[in-house]
């Protein structure tokens, strides 16, 4: 068997690719990340760009975050960078701040993954020597294409794990033995599928084979970590990733009954899929949804039939559905409440526009703005334009003012002006 992908016991020579055999241009790298790397180099340390940035630059895609990894220890970084702050308990790393809330993460090469460390009993928690060589650091990572280094000083890509070959083959390959790596951290299954979906890569066979047998372990992962991973997918290229998670029957292990519904009912999921497509396109055009709007989109196709079938107490139906769903992802309470409010208002808008019955107090609700955006997204396939509003739609549909309409004086405040959230 080819063992390029399992951690060798002895130091191995990495594959090093220099210009013009790699496409990375320093112009595409965050200048602050470059500054840190050059400074560490002048101080006698080794420092590389790593992770998603190197992967994306190799693929000619714009990189998002520029993580740096170095042989400098967190304490040494703190001493040499006045605006460095140390974070993390088990594995300490430095955030070097640049004002405006911006920071670059500078980690130290290490031997063990976070997940492996989490598995160790508390009394042994912080290993005496968590730090390691660049090679060890590459091997603790999840997939080969995420474990490349870019050496700025020599303008070279450094590859210990066969990531360059996998980029050429367009393959997502787990580093090491997939069954072991999935058992150690089942969330890696999600990550494998994410990068395959985002990049249009194939999942390497040995990993794919192990997914069905290990997927259920995801449900036992920390709900907070599931939430973290979910947010990455709700922020970026959501549709392809969720479609792939569904294909591999992962949604049920994250969203409980909601996931089961999306997996067993193709029609229900295709409604979600089309919404996500609109969201992904809007995002590309620079129109961002808030996190509460994203969570409302995610659950709308699942809750809509439940709300529609119910009487009036949307709130009760919704909290019942979430309570009984057995979700494994831990969505913070406030976010659940906010996106729940959005869902309830969207359902009420839908009902008003179908029946002509409206409670105008709807327009006063704190979540009316996001709900209105979502209403357009769901029912019109786009976000509302400047001069569009739910109120205008309703007046158009029911010029007589609708049925059972109770006018509330408070409504007046909207007359003549745009609704407060119309940007
Ligand atoms: P992006 O941020 O574009 O989604 P990324 O590769 O930067 O991609 P992150 O989630 O930011 O992904 O993780 C940073 C790096 O940490 C990854 O590239 C990978 O090397 C490593 N990593 C993240 N999660 C795991 C994990 N569960 N097991 C092993 N390594 C991981
Ligand atoms: Mg990242």
Nearest CA to 307 out of 346, 265, 347 is that of 347
Beta bridge partners of 70: 47, 108
Binding-site residues, ligand 1, Cβ < 6 A: 51-52, 64-65, 113, 115, 141-142, 146-147, 185, 187-188, 191, 232
β-pair type (67-70, 47-50):
antiparallel
The SS3 assignment for 203 reads: strand
Query: What's the gap in Å between 400 CA and the centre of ligand 1?
Result: 57
Query: What's the gap in Å between 65 CA and the centre of ligand 2?
Result: 5
Burial per residue of 52-74, b for 16 or more beta-carbon CB atoms within 10 angstroms, e otherwise:
bbbbbbbeeeebeebbbbbbbbb
142 is an active site residue: yes
The alpha carbon dihedral of 269, 270, 273, 278 has a sign of: negative
- Domains within the chain, CATH numbers bracketed: 1-169 (3.30.460.10), 270-414 (no CATH)
Instruction: List the pLDDT tens digit at each of the 423 positions of the chain.
Output: 444 566 666 678 999 999 999 999 999 999 999 999 999 999 999 999 999 999 999 999 999 889 999 999 999 999 999 999 999 877 789 999 999 999 999 999 998 776 666 555 555 555 556 899 999 999 999 999 999 999 999 999 999 999 999 999 999 999 999 999 999 999 999 999 999 999 999 999 999 999 999 999 999 999 999 999 999 999 999 999 999 999 999 999 999 999 999 999 999 999 999 999 999 999 988 888 999 999 999 999 999 999 988 877 899 999 999 999 999 999 999 999 999 999 999 999 999 999 999 889 999 999 999 999 999 999 999 999 889 999 999 999 988 776 654 544 444 444 443 444 433
Beta carbons of 357 and 351 less than 8 angstroms apart: yes
166 is an active site residue: no
The SS3 assignment for 172 reads: strand
What Cα–Cα distance (Å) separates residue 51 from each residue in 106, 213, 387, 408?
12, 28, 44, 56
Which residues touch 28 (CB under 8 Å, ≥6 apart)?
57, 62, 63
Catalytic residue, chosen from 30, 137, 142, 151, is 142
Question: What distance in Å separates the CA atoms of residue 45 and residue 52, rounded to the nearest whole number?
Answer: 22
């Amino acid at each position: 068997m080819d063992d390029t992908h399992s951690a060798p016991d002895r130091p191995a020579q990495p594959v090093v690719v220099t210009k013009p055999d790699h496409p990375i241009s320093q112009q595409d790298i965050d200048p602050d990340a470059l500054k840190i790397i050059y400074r560490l180099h002048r101080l006698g340390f080794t420092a590389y760009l790593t992770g998603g940035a190197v992967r994306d630059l190799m693929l000619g895609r714009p990189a998002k975050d520029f993580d740096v990894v170095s042989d400098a220890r967190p304490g040494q970084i703190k001493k040499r960078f006045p605006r460095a702050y140390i974070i993390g308990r088990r594995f300490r790393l430095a955030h070097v701040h640049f004002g405006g809330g911006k920071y670059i993460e500078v980690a130290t090469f290490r031997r063990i993954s976070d997940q492996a460390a989490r598995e160790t009993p508390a009394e042994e928690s912080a290993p005496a020597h968590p730090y390691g060589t660049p090679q060890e650091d590459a091997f603790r990572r999840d997939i080969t294409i995420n474990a490349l280094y870019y050496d700025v000083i020599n303008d070279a890509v450094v590859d210990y794990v066969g990531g360059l070959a996998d980029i050429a083959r367009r393959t997502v390959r787990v580093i090491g033995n997939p069954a072991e790596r999935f058992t150690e951290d089942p969330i890696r299954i999600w990550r494998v599928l994410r990068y395959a979906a985002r990049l249009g890569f194939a999942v390497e066979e040995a990993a794919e084979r192990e997914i069905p047998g290990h997927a259920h372990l995801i449900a036992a992962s920390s709900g907070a970590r599931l939430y973290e991973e979910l947010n990455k997918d709700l922020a970026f290229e959501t549709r392809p990733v969720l479609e792939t998670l569904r294909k591999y029957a992962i949604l049920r292990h994250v969203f409980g009954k909601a996931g089961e519904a999306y997996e067993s009912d193709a029609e229900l999921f295709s409604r979600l899929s089309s919404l996500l497509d609109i969201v992904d396109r809007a995002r590309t055009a620079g129109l961002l949804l808030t996190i509460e709007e994203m969570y409302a989109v995610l659950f709308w196709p699942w809750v809509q039939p439940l709300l529609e079938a119910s009487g009036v107490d949307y709130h009760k139906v919704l909290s019942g559905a979430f309570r009984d769903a057995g979700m494994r992802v831990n969505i913070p309470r406030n976010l659940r409440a906010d996106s729940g409010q959005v869902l309830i208002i969207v359902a009420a808008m839908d009902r008003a526009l179908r029946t002509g019955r409206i409670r105008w107090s709807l327009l006063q609700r704190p979540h009316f703005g996001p709900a209105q955006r979502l209403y357009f997204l769901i029912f019109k396939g786009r976000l509302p334009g400047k001069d569009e509003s739910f109120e205008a739609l309703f007046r158009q549909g029911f010029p007589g003012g609708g049925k059972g309409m109770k006018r509330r004086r408070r409504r007046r405040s909207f007359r003549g002006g745009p609704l407060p959230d119309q940007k």
